[in-house]
Amino acid sequence: MTRIRVGAAVLNQTPLDWQGNLDNILAAIEAARSQEVRILCLPELCISGYGCEDAFHSVGMQRSVIESLAEIVAASRGMIASVGLPLLHKNALFNAACLLVDGRMAGFVAKRFLAGEGIHYEPRWFKAWPEGLRDTVAIEGESYAIGDLVFDCGGVKIGFEICEDAWVARRPAGNLTLEQVDLILNPSASHFAFGKHETRKRIVVEGSRAFNVSYLYANLLGNEAGRVIYDGDALIASGGTLLAAGLRFSFQPWQLTTAVIDVAATRMSQARSGSFQPNLKGKQENLIACDFSFPDIEPAVPQLHVPAWESGGHVKEEEFARAVALGLFDYMRKSRSRGFVVNLSGGADSSSTACLVAMMTQFALAELGVERFRETLRHIPDLPAGSDPRAYVKRLLYCLYQTTKNSSETTRLAATSLADFLGAAMACLEIDPLVERYVSDMESVLGRRLTWQTDDVPLQNIQARVRGPSAWLLANVRGALLLATSNRSEAAVGYATMDGDTCGGLSPIAGIDKAYLRQWLRWVEKEGPEGVGPVPVLSAVTALPPTAELRPRESKQTDEADLMPYEVLDAIERAAIRDKQLPLEVFRLMRPRFPAYTVEQLHLWVERFFLLWCRNQWKRERYAPSFHLDDENLDPKTWCRFPILSGNFRRELDELREYVRTL
């Protein structure tokens, strides 16, 4: 025996959905068996779901985990499979993987390096396992090994790196190769972020080369718990060669990727490596021996099926479309919502949101087919029949254009044309009478007139807020989810009306900056995602300068006049928030980057950013849940914490003013 068929299964799990998670695991195991896979890697914490948050510490958690594990063990006969689970041991909770060998539990490996930055909070719930330590854990009256283990299964040595373990400098693979492992399994829950797929691929492929092993990587798939999207990476590499990669952003509940590895070949690679030095100390204390028989199979030529969009020039644009589309689809079905409502203003934000819902429908229908699509959304009783994507878009997306005397015919036409092109249901409402009633009532309360000279912001905000109740009412009547349309650039400076453009149960683009969003829309206008194509009517949107249309038309209001150019705003935000630079250093960084602007302009914009950032933290705290799409998120619940009340950088801004005076 030298060749083994191995598999990596990605699963679309849901926290605490014991039966649904179990069904996906069992289906993946059965599919692997039908394809004669002998070693299968399943994702991290796939029994419970990764995003259980503080429910990991609930009293009944461990009982439910062990009950599911028992069914998985029974289903694993004739193969080797790893399954991820939270495991309680000596009153501490560990993020563990259980290796199943021919219908029995061989032992547990616990994660050594916990993810505790960005959106990850593992140290809150789990303990890190010490290097080199082995212990025993009792499960249903039986004792099993737990710790930093290597498994010898029928002469094939298997080791583990659990997600974050592979991302650190002192990754466990270095020690595993000294123990002459043949195969490393990596069960992961690695969130999607732009460009992260290439980083994962380097970790897997380079790990297989540097350590002269075969490497199986299995990630989660879909919108698991609400905010985080998993792209479903499945990667199999051996000796520095990528043998197989799974389809990312799939709408299926699970996907299986397989390949044939050659154990003899990687062993000889270790023998040829001048840096390889085996552990010659005799008996391995951390070795678990298991009987297993591998049939000999014929060699197989690697077949990498890479979608055209992954090798094109617009990978980020494609990833954005596919990640948000998958996130919306899973959010809709897991929350039992019957579609979406969007306040479609004719601007870039709401137009992007509407396009993403339409793309969601097109992607899902194309991959699942009509019958699976309808079955997946069976909680929506009045889904249309047939295969026309426009009919499904009309049922799942309802747009409202709510006009005032400050709205223009240009934005109205842009909104209605886009809804018509996408196939969405659309209605236009005149809301001036409602606005005037609110203003009149408040004038009676105050005993004076409200004017643009004295009450500019309140008069703007009331228009945006009046649009909320109608949109919420429509969403409630349809059993749909109202989508907020505010973006990250506006969140950074609070350029949004609370309960206006921020009202909604989900804010799918709140993690995306405005400059990129406009760039993405221009791409959709002219090209669009593979399999969907362009949306040429977006030219009416992309041609317009961003504007809230809340002041009288003669003021010619634009967002950038109110704030600053979006490209400058986004650059300041990254320097100030992502990189934690103080005002003076941010100003110095902006000068060579934006030489077309004067010292006075850049000083004004840097100071404005810091003051608005501090003043509006309370708004960011109230935003609807948003999708995590890159590692520059401003969501205070998952990424960027900042005090609601602070000193407003007074001393630091004084230092900046003194510096500017010397220029």
Q: Is 154 helix (H, G, I), strand (E, B) or coil?
A: coil
Q: What's the pLDDT band for 283 if we cut at 50, 70, 90? A: low
Per-chain mean pLDDT for the chain: 95
**H or E element: which one contains 501?**
none
Per-residue pLDDT reduced to its tens digit, 558-610 = 888 899 999 999 999 999 999 999 999 999 999 999 999 999 999 999 999 99
Q: What is the pLDDT of residue 1?
A: 60
Residue 630's CB is within 10 A of a number of other CB atoms, namely 19
| Alpha-carbon span 340 to 482, nearest angstrom | 6
List beta partners, residue 427.
400
The dihedral sign for the CA sequence 280, 286, 290, 295? negative
Claim: this prediction has a pTM higher than 0.75? yes
User: Which burial class, exposed, middle or buried, applies to 281 when counting CB atoms under 10 A from its CB (0-12, 13-18, 19+)?
Assistant: exposed
Q: Is 392 helix (H, G, I), strand (E, B) or coil?
A: helix
Per-residue pLDDT reduced to its tens digit, 547-568 = 877 788 888 888 888 999 999 9
Per-residue pLDDT reduced to its tens digit, 421-473 = 999 999 999 999 999 999 999 999 999 999 999 999 999 999 999 999 999 99
**H or E element: which one contains 487?**
none
Amino acid, single-letter form, for residue 539? S
The β-bridge relationship of strands 241-245 and 39-41 is unpaired
**What are the chain's domains?**
3-306 (3.60.110.10), 313-556 (3.40.50.620), 564-663 (1.10.10.1140)
Given a contact cutoff of 8 angstroms between Cβ atoms, the answer to whether 656 and 583 are in contact is yes
Given a contact cutoff of 8 angstroms between Cβ atoms, the answer to whether 614 and 646 are in contact is yes
| Alpha-carbon span 39 to 236, nearest angstrom | 12
In 441-451, which positions are buried (b, 16+ CB within 10 angstroms) versus exposed (e)? Answer: eeeeeeeeebe
Average pLDDT over residues 82-99: 98
Given a contact cutoff of 8 angstroms between Cβ atoms, the answer to whether 346 and 415 are in contact is yes
Q: Is 330 helix (H, G, I), strand (E, B) or coil?
A: helix
Query: For the chain, what's the residue count?
Result: 663
Q: What is the pLDDT of residue 624?
A: 95
Amino acid, single-letter form, for residue 278? P
List beta partners, residue 481.
340
